[in-house]
Amino acid sequence: MNSTETAGAVATSAQQKLIASLPPDFRWGVATAAYQIEGAVAEDGRTPSIWDTFCEVPWAIDNNDTGDVACDHYHRMPDDIALVKELEADTYRFSVAWPRIQPGGRGPVNPAGMAFYDKLVDELLEKDIAPWLTLYHWDLPQQLEDAGGWPARDTAYRFADYAMLVFDKLNDRVRHWTTLNEPWCSAMHGYVHGVMAPGKRDFAAGMAAVHHLLLGHGLATARMREAAPHDTEFGITLNMGTADPATDSAHDRDAARSADGLGVRIYLDPLVHGQYPADVVEDLAARGVKLPVEDGDLKIISAPLDFLGVNYYFGQQYSGVGEDGRTEDDQGLPAQRTVPFGKPTTAMGWEILPGKFTELLTRLGRDYPGLPMVITENGSAFDDLADESGFVRDEDRAAYLASHIAAVAAARLAGADIRGYFAWSLLDNFEWAYGYAKRFGLIRVDYETQQRTIKQSGYFYRDTVRRVRGS
């Protein structure tokens, strides 16, 4: 079925009006990440990353799924890029797998691994699609984890070396460079909550990881910028949401403040203002933790950025009073829990809150002015039902897109400097700890046959892009 005729009906007229306010030169992309789609984990010299190792831990991943094959993109790349073109996206956000470029995380470039991205970039440019390259989307070479991982300072320097290997090869063709994707997830889910690779549970290690991720970003940015042609742009992508107090009580307001501190300000304050937020430093001290900042680090971290990548999925409400009515947890630390707004959720259990997206973006524009933003990820998982041809009539996902693109337009009208929107994701893929159970794609992947089928939401996205462009 060609769903063009139904696509317009998904967005309400108020949303259509907002979306129509986006400028014709607004950037429209689709996003992926290396480990989630590539497969071919042992080919052409690639060594294991922390995700290969984590996938071997029994039940770390739903269904014990792994990224071994994923979408087999490594072998199907040109066909997948043809699909990006079919969606009429002008930008493709992808990540480079560090263990393909520099097996083991040190030493010279692995030409066979680099050749894949070299071809990918050429394929994109041939189709007039701008490559938007992310250097690190969570696949740390396992050997660097064995040497201490992100809690170790040396990893920041290793990252900058790796960045330069990629930059030297591709900077003649790639204009947009993102250092890190979502350092919050690397630090918190990886080293504190233990739900993502490398699966550690150590708060102090997580905070050291935050600082070294930021340091790695700064070191890499400085070196790339020095070697860059004039029109190259550098940025970082952060996942952010809103943190509201559940009530106006002092405990709830403090819980929201500290969540915002660890979620947003611990990254953006050093990046933009060159200092860690004082209240966060105090919260950490109360837990006996000090960020491992050395002289000169904050200057490196706050090197100018050309853009901020914003990944938004949901906002949260916080209470500083536990279910049991206590305001302290078992360790004597202030209680903190999330309280749902009571709105419908996606298949991830994430509440659908487009209004909070507008709030987040206007707040970022206000608190961190002068920094152009690009939405580098936004999207939704739903329990898709495919017909026998593989087609998915996912009005839920299309409606999510409509409300969230309208939310971006509303934030622009309120003054936030937002230059583009990239849908997560091009394809259904390996959704980290959820394995293949959660589908975020605009395009369905049948994992048995690797057949790709554009979903209704994919057509909706294409038609939205067409309308805004006036094409």
State residue 286 phi and psi, 5-degree precision.
Answer: -65, -20
Residue of minimal Cβ distance to ligand FCB: 33
Residue 62: half-sphere exposure toward Cβ, Cα within 13 Å: 10
Interface stretch with ligand FCB, choices 53-61, 102-110, 158-166, 178-186 (CB under 6 A): 178-186
Q: Which residue has the tokens 């949260």?
A: 316
Residue closer to ligand FCB (CB basis): 257 or 438: 438
Residue closer to ligand FCB (CB basis): 31 or 335: 31
Check residue 182 for interaction with ligand FCB (CB under 6 A): yes
CB of 456 to ligand FCB, least distance (A): 20
Check residue 33 for interaction with ligand FCB (CB under 6 A): yes
CB of 251 to ligand FCB, least distance (A): 29
Return d(Cα 435, Cα 433) in angstroms, integer: 6
Binding footprint of ligand FCB, residue count (CB under 6 A) = 12
The catalytic residue among 145, 359, 377, 431 is 377
Please name which of 242, 240, 247, 262 lies closest in space to residue 327, comparing C-alpha atoms.
Answer: 247
State residue 421 phi and psi, 5-degree precision.
Answer: -140, 125
Check residue 54 for interaction with ligand FCB (CB under 6 A): no
Phi-psi region of 340 (alpha: psi -120 to 50; beta: other; left: phi over 0): beta
Return d(Cα 2, Cα 388) in angstroms, integer: 15
CA 107, 110, 113, 115 dihedral sign is positive
Check residue 185 for interaction with ligand FCB (CB under 6 A): yes
Binding mask 304-323 for ligand FCB (x = CB under 6 A): -------x------------
The catalytic residue among 38, 123, 145, 182 is 182
Binding mask 425-444 for ligand FCB (x = CB under 6 A): ------xx-------x----
The question of whether 182 is a catalytic residue gets the answer yes
CB of 20 to ligand FCB, least distance (A): 28
Return d(Cα 18, Cα 406) in angstroms, integer: 5
Residue 324: half-sphere exposure toward Cβ, Cα within 13 Å: 6
Return d(Cα 318, Cα 337) in angstroms, integer: 6
CB 316 within 8 A of CB 242: yes
Check residue 197 for interaction with ligand FCB (CB under 6 A): no
CB of 331 to ligand FCB, least distance (A): 28
Check residue 260 for interaction with ligand FCB (CB under 6 A): no
Q: Which residue has the tokens 């630390």?
A: 333
Among 424, 459, 460, 461, binds ligand FCB (CB under 6 A): 424
Residue closer to ligand FCB (CB basis): 110 or 181: 181
Sequence-distant (6+) residues with CB within 8 A of 349 are none
State residue 113 phi and psi, 5-degree precision.
Answer: -70, -40
Among 52, 377, 394, 463, binds ligand FCB (CB under 6 A): 377
Which residues are designated catalytic?
A: 182, 377
- Which residues contact ligand FCB (rule: CB under 6 A)? 33, 36, 181-182, 185, 239, 311, 377, 424, 431-432, 440
